[in-house]
Homo-oligomer: A and B are copies of this chain.
Amino acid sequence: MFEAKIDLGVLRGCIEAITAVADEGRLRITEDGLKLRSVDPANVAMVSFELQSDAFDDFSLELAGAVETEKEGKGEEGKETSIGMDFVKLLGILGIGGRGGEEIELKLDEKGQKLFTRMGSLAYTISLLASDSLRKDPKVPELEFPAQVILEIEDFKRGIRAAEKIAENIVLGVDGESEEFFMEAEGEMDKLRLGLRKEQLIYLTPPAEKVRSLYSLDYLSAMSRGISACHAEQLTLNLGKDYPLQIDFEVADGRGKVSYLVAPRIESE
Q: Chain A interface (Cβ within 8 Å of chain B)?
A: 89, 92-93, 95-96, 98, 121-127, 155, 158-159, 161-162, 165, 189-196, 200
Q: Please, which residues of chain B bring their CB within 8 A of the CB of A165? A: 92-93, 95-96
Main secondary structure, interface of A, reads mixed
Complex contact B195–A123 (CB within 8 A): yes
Complex CA distance for A159 and B155, rounded to whole angstroms: 39
A-B contact list, 18 entries, CB within 8 Å: A92-B165, A93-B162, A93-B165, A95-B165, A96-B158, A121-B194, A121-B200, A122-B158, A122-B162, A122-B192, A123-B193, A123-B194, A124-B162, A124-B190, A125-B190, A125-B191, A126-B190, A127-B190
A131 to chain B, nearest CB (A): 15
Complex contact B161–A192 (CB within 8 A): no
Copies of this chain present: 3
Q: Please, which residues of chain B bring their CB within 8 A of the CB of A190? A: 89, 93, 124-127
Complex contact B92–A125 (CB within 8 A): no
Complex contact B89–A121 (CB within 8 A): no
Apart from A93-B165, A122-B159, A126-B189, what are 6 other A-B pairs with CB-CB below 8 Å? Answer: A121-B155, A121-B195, A122-B162, A122-B192, A124-B190, A125-B192
Please judge, given known A-B contacts A121-B155, A121-B196, whether A96 and B161 are in contact too, CB under 8 Å.
yes
Q: Please, which residues of chain B bring their CB within 8 A of the CB of A191? A: 124-125
Complex contact B189–A127 (CB within 8 A): yes
A92 to chain B, nearest CB (A): 5
Q: Please, which residues of chain B bring their CB within 8 A of the CB of A93? A: 162, 165, 190
A18 to chain B, nearest CB (A): 19
Complex CA distance for A162 and B98, rounded to whole angstroms: 11
Complex CA distance for A125 and B191, rounded to whole angstroms: 5
Q: Please, which residues of chain B bring their CB within 8 A of the CB of A196? A: 121
> Which B-chain residue is minimally distant from A183 (CB atoms)?
B122
Partner of A162, one of B96, B125, B159, B161: B96
Q: Please, which residues of chain B bring their CB within 8 A of the CB of A161? A: 96
> Which B-chain residue is minimally distant from A163 (CB atoms)?
B96
Complex CA distance for A165 and B93, rounded to whole angstroms: 8
Residue from A121, A124, A127, A193 whose CB has the most chain B CB atoms within 10 Å? A121
Complex contact B123–A192 (CB within 8 A): yes
Complex contact A194–B122 (CB within 8 A): yes
Q: Please, which residues of chain B bring their CB within 8 A of the CB of A162? A: 93, 96, 122, 124
Q: Please, which residues of chain B bring their CB within 8 A of the CB of A95? A: 165
Complex CA distance for A126 and B195, rounded to whole angstroms: 17
